[in-house]
Structure 1
Amino acid sequence: MQRRHSKRWQMITGDLVSATVLATVPVSAALGTLTLTQLMIVAVVQGAASVLHDAAAISLPPSLVDRSLIQRSNSRVGALFAVAATAGSHLGAALTALLGPARALLGDVASYLISAVCTARIQTAEPARARPEIRRLRGEIGEGLQYVRGDDRLWTLTLVNATTSFALGLLNTLWALYLFVPA
């Protein structure tokens, strides 16, 4: 399977897209033009950008650390994600109480910009990309699905993750509505 783009640039792009789209919310709120449609579009675009970022972030450590340290590195990355999710939720609640829901998103915008800067500072060169063979995306997706479907553990994990991601997407959308719709 051929890698199409630099993982670092994929992560930076995901961060910058997330920062940009989230920044539209406080701007629109300040102008009095924020709509439910905009919030839904922001949620979809930001979610897609997060998938783009996270897919690259998960696969980048093998090019940064020695093979013998991959398990330890992945454990630390997982622990950092858990700490960031917990601390981020509490910080987000505090900023929302202090600044209001729309302006509190500026903290999130800042975190994406900091992430992009930190990712840009990674000095390790990724392995050179081989010239990609011409393949159809549909065929590659089918090949990947066939591989996952052939392994019961991967199939179960995929279904659990897809269901959880869908439920969290719904929850986050409803949570945004709860925060932004006046009582």
Structure 2
Amino acid sequence: MSGPVPMVVGLTIIWVLLWGSVSPTIVVGGVLAAVLVVTVFPFPTAPWTFVIRPWPTLVLAARFFWDLARASVEVSWFALRPAGPPPSAILRVGLRTRSELVMTITSELVCLVPGSLLVELEPEEGAIYLHVMDAHTPERVAAFHQSVLDQEERVVKAFAPREERDAVCSQEVAP
């Protein structure tokens, strides 16, 4: 399937799910609404190329869930401890990739972990700006910066084409 057909099918399914029941009227209404949306708001074709490597994807998922659990405990401790909240900071992280897909996946995985929030993504600069909740020492900031670069590397190893993977994994970026 190519073109707008997958988008129409997907939007129709969402429409039916939102209505909570299936009837010919709801399905036809969903198809008409989806065709209208796809016609009025055409989506640009994305020039993204990616592959899925099973082992690096498993490593990426396992590390993401570990980070999620660890950060949830840390954020819970910050909320419950008697001291006030730790100082926070806005941090610019220069990514090594220029692929918008890889930058987006990296940003989303970083921000889904409690304790950080995406402020801005600059694909032209290859940088993301993040709000970091725990920035009470330069070492914590440096560790967070490195964790973002490590996450980027895991995403690249899991999804980037071979040429990009080799180029990104051989680079070093200073904070």
TM-score, length of structure 2 as denominator length = 0.24
Structure (1 or 2) with the greater strand fraction: 2
Structure (1 or 2) with the greater helix fraction: 1
Q: Which structure has the greater CA radius of gyration? A: 2
Structure number with higher relative contact order (C-alpha < 8 Å, ≥ 6 residues apart)? 1
